[in-house]
Amino acid sequence: EGMDGASDQTRQLGFRGLVDLLREGFDKGVTVWDTADSYGTHAHIREALKGLPREKVTVITKTNATTESQMRDDLDRFRRELDTDYIDIVLLHYIQNGNWTEERKGAMEALAEATEKGTVKMRGLSSHSFDAMKVAASDPWSQVQLARINLAGDRHMEGPPEKVLGVLREAKAHGKAVIGMKVLGEGDLISRIDDCYRFILSNSDAVDAFVVGMVSRTQLDDNIRRIAAAGKQA
């Protein structure tokens, strides 16, 4: 969990600990790093990127900007904080209703401009309501959708799994990249972890990739092993 400039990783690992975990993850093939302005980890990622081939790491971050000027300021600051010429994916953070295309119009225009210039490679949103997710599935502005999906479909999702998967398949049909989150139900489904991974990997027609939070080398190694095994069974 991350908010207000901190996350489980920053609290439990400290600066050097998180940098080391990111570097170890890279060495073991974990090359998609998901963060947000509110997580307070841009500096950690900047340090972890030092000496690595930039094109080998996909950095995802998120912004709460609503206006054009706020988005411009955020993107400039994000690139300074990350010390990178470009950011792979920038998402509108925590979108909770279907009116986001109007509410974030100014921010969307500035982010579209950044993708045209190449300072951002792809743009999209993290959806936290069914309406937001449904609109994003077909809206031409959105290129990437970070969506809550797991086998339980309880409070950590926008509805029953098949209903959510249907919308995500629609997004894929419109050429969107779909990234799953909350695949372990914010930890509530940890007792069913292997089932969770088999579920998400067996729905590759709806989900291209997924993110999982980790706070230790033990968790890193365990997740790599479990996901590899689940992939063979999916």
Binning pLDDT at 50, 70 and 90, where does residue 149 land? very high
Q: Tell me: the pLDDT tens digits for 71-111?
A: 999 999 999 999 999 999 999 999 999 999 999 999 999 99
d(CA 34, CA 48): 13
Contact between 26 and 57 (Cβ < 8 Å): yes
Q: At what angle do helices 217-233 and 193-201 cross, to 10 degrees?
A: 50
**What pLDDT was estimated at residue 4?**
62
Q: Tell me: the pLDDT tens digits for 182-198?
A: 999 999 999 999 999 99
Q: Among residues of the chain, what percentage have pLDDT more than 70?
A: 98
pTM of the model: 0.96
Contact between 157 and 182 (Cβ < 8 Å): yes
- Alpha-carbon dihedral 187, 90, 59, 57, rounded to 10 degrees: 130
Binning pLDDT at 50, 70 and 90, where does residue 8 land? confident
What's the average model confidence in pLDDT over 159-175? 97
d(CA 83, CA 27): 21
d(CA 191, CA 3): 26
Q: In sequence order, what DSSP letters do the residues of 108-162 get, joined into one string?
A: HHHHHHHHHHTSEEEEEEEE-SHHHHHHHHH-TT--EEEEE--SS-STTSSS-HH
